[in-house]
Structures are given as structure tokens and as C-alpha cells.
Structure 1
């Protein structure tokens, strides 16, 4: 295996979950491939350079394929696919050629996990088209891990045919596995789960922000009526928690977007109990045993449950977030799931005392998958 690794991911925007996927792989590669040149193709390479600085000595960031997807005149899945494949194959423009040189010199191209290659963002199929186009030019190794591919894109058949030619591929949910005829795999954050738990649970600074009840609620990917209804349900939860002398905190997984619900609760949660993205990224997620979580975000569900917290996973987009959260429920988090648009009040939080140990075993499974892709030399 060569010494030039090209990663593709949606991290770097910033977004706690997507960024944790990238950081997990970079830390792993720093141990097994410390001398490699590691390129990350992502939407915001400038922010990514700051977020992931120092994790891998050979790390560099670019946006070659992401930019090619965004520049397609027609943003349908079929049109973006053809546009990116043609851009890689033909080159010939100074705006792209320097980035295409790094892509063309890659010994392996690995699209990292997350739910970003699907019908919610059909233009992102261009990332896979670009991978296939490079492989035809230089015979590099193509791999994928931890993807969530539902809802399916309009060119699903073309996507499946291309993935079938990859050296290795894994997906994180049953629907994606059924689509490709695979066994269900694991989300990529399981690769870095134990490290994330250690830095969170073992840090006094993080634990001082781990309140009895924690919220992490997004304002994107939902309509105003659903969001307003969820606000009213959460207000009741917070008021009841405070009435029972429980402390309440709030986590921001995506800067700005996730703060909106905190502000909508109109001072019920003290400002000192608000944990901004920067704090989460530098110190860890404020999780501990005995907590209760209410989150629309997928990765806080995973990490809080693995730390021993109970919770309610709230789906904001049926056909997307319900599949994501149910992939964790199927692994045994024991949490309760509800749709944000449900007419009823939020259910009582639940958990499983067995998931802490199960999560450690799952992390071991994910490490075995990673070692199969990048064996220790």
C-alpha cells in the first residue's frame, strides 16, 4: 500500500459529529500511518485546517471534489455525477488542476462515514463519481466506511454499481445495508468513541458542565411549525426538571444553528450552562452516568448513551433522522425515540445499563475494520 491517503468527508463546517468522524480517522492514521501524506477533501478546508491541526503530521486539506460538485450547473444527481467525472477525466482548467494533481497521485481514496451521500443532498453523489473517475486513471484503491445512504438518490442503481467495485465498503444502518446487499456495519465515530469518552468523562472541566438534564436541539432540517411545537414540549421538560431541583444544560453541536432553541427557551437555562461548540470540540461532550439527554443530534445520542446516560432521541426529518437514531437503538442504547412532529408530549427517557460495555465491544469491532483497511506495518 502506498503512502498517499486521500480522505473525503463532510467534516470541517464545523459540525461536532462530522468533525468527530474525521478526527477519529486522523488519530487512527497517526498511529498506523504516521509517515503518510493525508489529504482531506471537505467543504471548508480552511476551517478544517484549524479544527484538525496537529492530529496527523501529514495532514492537508482541500475541497477539490466538493467544489466540483457545487460547481455543476445542474444539481441533480445524474448531472452532478457526469459533471464531476468529466472534470476529473479531462482537467484542463487552472482552477482545478492543482487540486486534481493531489487527487490523481493518491494511492487510496477513502470516503468517510456520515449521512451525506443520499437523497437529502443528491449533488454529493459527485464525490463517488470523482473517486471512480480517478480509479480509472491511476488504479488506486477505493474504500468507504460507515455511510448512511438513505433516502436513496435518483441514480441509486448507478451508485450501487460503482460501490460494488470498491475494495471495501461498510454502511451504518439496515436500510443502507439492504440497498447494497451488505451486513449492517457501524458509524465511524465508534473508531474514536473510547478516546472521546476518556477525554470527556476524565476531565473535571467537562464534568463541571455535565448537568443532570442536557439538551442538544437543532433548528435545521425541520419546518417552523414542528420546531415551535418541539420548543413548547422542551419548555415543559425544563420547567419540570427545575421544579425537581435538577440542573439543566444545553450543548451546541453546530454553531449558531443549535443555539436557536437555547434562546427560544427564554432564559430557563442559565447562560453559564450553555456549552458552545468550541468548548465541546476542545474539551469533550459533557456526559456522565445518571444524566438525562434530549437530543435531535445523532452523535450526542451515541456518546451520552455510551457514558451511561438515559435519553430521548428526537427525529426531526422522517426517512432520515429516524433511520439514523434507530441504528443506535438497534445496537442497544435503550433510549426512547420520538418524532419531533408527534402530537404527544415528549416520552420519559430510558436507557440500558448494558450499553456501556456493549459500546466498548463495538469500538473494538470498528477498530478491526479500520485495521483491515490500513494494516499495521
Structure 2
């Protein structure tokens, strides 16, 4: 059995894309070699994951156990939650959670426990998720399990002066591999834990396979938009002016609705500004392909739309509305994107730049090689 834990299920396009890539890999390369093996995915929503993936991957069991159990979401610090995880089995914390009996039994029988990627573990937005790092490290020691983490975005990662960081070093050392998806996260964690054998500077889990273009979408030039509520780019007068001047030069404007429950207040004003705006939802982007081609252009706030569009040859600009997003968008630029940054004090440039090719670094091949090694199919 393989036990995967991650940040998908909301739904949120980037997190669901990561899970889709791992499900594709498991069904293409792992399960055919181990036909009796089971796959358990522990994430934020059984209903959400089943609705998206249940019919396509009927052998996968979706649960919400350890991912939802994080002990002190409201006030616990990163280190407090990590330490709690480090004692979950060895100090008997599991006895306080009889509802986890089945999950613990599954964990014990796993060939690999895999913490898959995303930016859901950091000290800024979600310090409670540090529990998962401690939990897997303790499971590795207590049950002699192989545990691995891939494509993790762990920054911002800030601690109080003098805070004991020894538990974080202890936890990382228990992993077979702990892959960071960007150099910022890798360098920050390396400052804390040193040059341990587990640490790996890698890429986002979305690189596992190429993302397909939508069938029949060629021949139309599109303007792609991706937003976020905090610091909403599309509320700015300078961006409104840019859209009025340039949107008419495209055959279609497409909004990538990555988190439908959070983005309705962005979409409706855009519909009034851009009559005919098409909204591409999570399901379409995942399973129907992305309607993006060289010659298209994107204004992006979200990270995975930038990553996917740039890989498909789209030009564009991005806004990094926080340190968290500076690191995320910066990782895409470092990986090969030619998108230009929109700064807070000025909007998109007056002219559209000619599309520049994605500078492919062979990230897909490297990612699949890592996956094969972790799942012992290399």
C-alpha cells in the first residue's frame, strides 16, 4: 500500500494538478508492477477529491485523517505543531485519537508514506501543517517506514531569535528524501538542518508530466487572466486601462478560476469590463486541457497558472502580492519562465512583448527519475 498526504481537495487548481500528476504516475508506472497494491490519499476533502478523481481513478481511497487533524490551527506555532507530530507515536499522543485507528493501521502497512507537494507548510500562512513533517518523521522511526516529501514550498520560514530548531533537524533527517521546489526554500532549510542526505533542491510536483493543451483550441489568440483576492490586480485603474486598450487585440479572454469559492468576487467585475469573458474552471483545466498557445498572453497573480502557461509558450506578466508569492513566482522564472514582473507602483506595460520560449531545463525528466526512485520502479 502507498499512503499519500497533501494539500489538495479544496478544490484549488494548483493543488489538484499536483495530485493528478501523482495519480497519473501511480497508475502508469507503479500499480501495473504491484497489481494488489492500494493507494490511500489523505487530504483536505474526501468529497472534493472523490468528485474530481473518483471515476478516473476508482482504485484510490480518499480520506481526510492526518491532514485534517492538525492539533492547534488557531494559535500553535510551526515548531509547536512539529514537536507534537514528532511525539505522536513515540510519546503516545495517538491514544488521544481513537478515530485514527484505521489510518494508523494503514500507515504501518505502507511501502511508502509520501508527503506530496504544494505551499501549505510554512510559518506565515499555515504553521499547523508542520505537524505533518513531525508525524511522518515519528512514523518512520516508530514503524521503520520509508517516508518522503516532494515539491514542498516551505517559505516563508521564520523563527524567533533563540528558538530551538533541533526538532526540525531531527524531523528532516528521518526522511528518505525531502525535496524543496525552489532554491529559496532549499537554502533556508539548509541553513537550519545543514547538508543532510535527505535535502534535495528540486521542482514543483506539477513538472511530473507536461500539461496538455485543449483539443481544438489552436487558431485563436487568447488573453489569460488569473487572480487572487488579496491585492486584487484587476481592481487597479491602471490595469483596467490596460485591459480596455489591449483586450480587443485578442480573439478571446479566459479567466482561470482556480479556487471557485474564493474568486467569484473577482470574476463578476471582470465580466462587466470584458463582455464575453470565458471562465475556465478547475475541472476543465485539469481534464479538458488548457486553451493556451504561443502568441497568447497572461496577467497572473496565481502561481500554477503562471507555471503552466509559461511552459506552454505563453508570454505575460505576473504580480507577486506578498513574500509568499514572490518566492513562488520567482521559482517559475528561475525554472524557465520569461514572464515579466508587475510592480506594485505601476501596472502592465503599454505594449505586449513578443512571446519568448520557455527555457526548459529537463525538469520533467528529473522529476520522473525521482518519482521512480522513491516508488522503486527505476
TM over 0.5: yes
Which of 76, 101, 105 pairs up with 1:101? Answer: 105
Instruction: Give yes or no for the alignment of 1:10 onto 2:7.
Output: yes
Cα gap change, 1:286 to 1:40, in 2 (>3 Å)? same
Root mean square deviation of aligned Cα: 2.5
In structure 1, C-alpha distance between the alignment counterparts of 2:233 and 2:277, rounded to whole Å: 24
Which of 167, 185, 196 pairs up with 1:176? Answer: 185
SS in 2 for 1:326: helix
Which residue in the other structure is 2:222 paired with?
A: 212
Which residue in the other structure is 1:333 paired with?
A: 337
1:49-128 matches, within 5 Å, as 49-56=50-57, 58-70=59-71, 74-89=75-90, 90=92, 91-92=94-95, 93-119=97-123, 120-128=125-133
Which residue in the other structure is 2:204 paired with?
A: 187
In structure 2, C-alpha distance between the alignment counterparts of 1:350 and 1:362, rounded to whole Å: 26
SS in 2 for 1:40: strand
In structure 2, C-alpha distance between the alignment counterparts of 1:39 and 1:287, rounded to whole Å: 33
Structure 1: gaps of 5 or more residues:
none
Offset, 1:324: 0.8
**With structure 1 as the length reference, what TM-score do the two structures score?**
0.86
1:297-308 matches, within 5 Å, as 297-308=302-313
Instruction: Give yes or no for the alignment of 1:322 onto 2:326.
Output: yes
Give CA-to-partner distance per residue, 1:76-120, whole Å, 9 cap, x none.
Answer: 223323444444453334322222222232221111111111112
Offset, 1:157: 4.9
Which of 259, 268, 275 pairs up with 2:264? Answer: 259
Cα gap change, 1:149 to 1:32, in 2 (>3 Å)? same
Structure 2: gaps of 5 or more residues:
191-198
Which residue in the other structure is 2:193 paired with?
A: none
Offset, 1:261: 1.8
Contact 2:112 2:375 survives alignment (8 Å): no
Contact 1:213 1:241 survives alignment (8 Å): no
Which of 171, 177, 197 pairs up with 1:162? Answer: 171
Which residue in the other structure is 1:150 paired with?
A: 155
Cα gap change, 1:231 to 1:284, in 2 (>3 Å)? farther
For these two proteins, the number of residue pairs brought into alignment is 357
Determine which structure has the larger helix proportion and give its number.
Answer: 1
In structure 2, C-alpha distance between the alignment counterparts of 1:242 and 1:352, rounded to whole Å: 16
Contact 1:305 1:333 survives alignment (8 Å): yes
Offset, 1:127: 0.8
In structure 2, C-alpha distance between the alignment counterparts of 1:53 and 1:8, rounded to whole Å: 17
In structure 2, C-alpha distance between the alignment counterparts of 1:351 and 1:131, rounded to whole Å: 47
SS in 2 for 1:69: coil
**With structure 2 as the length reference, what TM-score do the two structures score?**
0.86
Cα gap change, 1:17 to 1:207, in 2 (>3 Å)? farther
Cα gap change, 1:30 to 1:7, in 2 (>3 Å)? same
Which residue in the other structure is 2:29 paired with?
A: 32
Bigger mean CA deviation after superposition, 44-53 or 265-274: 265-274
